[in-house]
């Protein structure tokens, strides 16, 4: 992992751009390090939009200011990473079908299924590299810093979050955004997910029918899962959900007694 730039933002958060082979990413870390390594949150934008998206950056800075290390990448096929002309045509056809109210299941599978399959390995490669950084745990031992128990969470794109939560034991809690329309493979994997979950649902999301989101919520195998539903379309998630999301991660990623226990 090579850091290519570093900026101290006006809220004290340190923002650093990095490259890891072909993977470009950003790492935000809190102004004041704690006595133990900061919990890490992997933050992926819905539908694979770029790590530079303003909404994602706002959430990342908010979490970092609350004491978390936050990382986002442009995984394979996402953000500014190269895509084929066929991929772009399929995405355009999916957007057209959604706007026209036409069935999109087959198009969705052809676009999003491969996107998840390509993105997940890049995220796991990035997680390995992040957990080898001194500020996230001292290297050493056969398992590296992961053996030291650095807590890891996931926030963002539902389909990718399901794949990572179902296959990566280092991820201990996940906040999932706008979620019912996921590929068939992830619908099956949802039953394997047992970590604590917070699922955000926009009640009038034009691209994610609410009945699918409710069915997906029911399918998750987690004993602790919470559903927040808000009125509005896909991009209308209210800002206070960032506050609630941080409290969710406080409960599951920070040491006992560090989280706010009031109601």
Assess contact for 123 and 167: CB atoms under 8 A.
no
Residue 215: partners with Cβ closer than 8 Å, 6 or more residues away: 180
pLDDT at 48: 59
> What sign for the dihedral angle of Cα 41, 46, 52, 55?
negative
Across-strand partners of 19? 2, 24
Alpha-carbon distance of 136 to 197, in angstroms, equals 23
The DSSP result for 201-217, as a single string, is EETT-TTS-HHHHHHHH
pLDDT at 143: 42
For the chain, what's the residue count?
Answer: 263
Assess contact for 76 and 187: CB atoms under 8 A.
no
- Output 135-141 pairs: Cβ under 8 A, ≥24 positions apart: 135/29, 135/33, 135/37, 135/38, 135/69, 136/37, 136/38, 136/40, 136/69, 137/37
Q: How far is CA 1 from CA 23, 64, 84, 87, in A?
A: 9, 20, 27, 28
For the chain (length 263 residues), average pLDDT per consecutive 10?
93 93 94 77 77 83 93 85 80 80 80 88 96 72 49 93 96 86 88 95 79 91 91 79 91 68 44
pLDDT at 50: 65
pLDDT at 259: 45
Task: Walk across the sheet containing 2-8 and list its strands.
Answer: 2-8, 14-20, 23-29, 69-73, 40-44, 152-157, 171-177, 197-202, 225-230
- Domains defined for the chain, CATH in brackets: 2-82+114-253 (3.40.50.1820)
Tokens coding 103: 């069935």
pLDDT at 147: 45
């Amino acid at each position: 992992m090579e850091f290519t730039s570093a900026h101290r933002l006006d809220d004290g958060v340190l923002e650093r751009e990095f490259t890891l082979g072909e993977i470009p990413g950003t790492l935000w870390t809190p102004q004041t390090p704690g006595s133990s390594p900061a919990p890490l949150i992997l933050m992926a934008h819905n539908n694979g939009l770029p790590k530079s998206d303003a909404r994602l950056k706002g959430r990342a800075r908010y979490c970092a200011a609350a004491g978390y290390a936050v990382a986002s990448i442009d995984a394979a096929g996402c953000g500014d990473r190269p895509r084929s002309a066929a991929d772009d045509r399929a995405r355009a056809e999916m957007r057209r079908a959604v706007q026209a109210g036409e069935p999109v299941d087959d198009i969705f599978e052809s676009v999003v299924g491969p996107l998840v399959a390509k993105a997940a390995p890049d995220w796991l490669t990035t997680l390995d590299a992040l957990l080898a950084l001194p500020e996230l745990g001292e290297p050493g031992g056969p398992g590296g810093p992961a053996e030291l128990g650095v807590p890891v969470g996931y926030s963002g794109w539902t389909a990718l979050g399901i794949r990572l939560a179902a296959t990566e034991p280092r991820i201990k809690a996940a906040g999932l955004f706008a979620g019912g329309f996921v590929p068939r493979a992830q619908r099956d994997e949802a039953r394997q997910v047992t970590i604590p979950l917070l699922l955000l649902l926009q009640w009038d999301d034009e691209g994610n029918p609410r009945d699918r989101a409710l069915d997906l919520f029911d399918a998750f195998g987690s004993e602790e899962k919470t559903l927040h539903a808000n009125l509005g379309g896909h991009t209308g998630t209210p800002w206070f959900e960032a506050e609630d999301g941080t409290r969710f991660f406080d409960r599951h990623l920070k040491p006992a007694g560090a989280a706010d226990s009031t109601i």
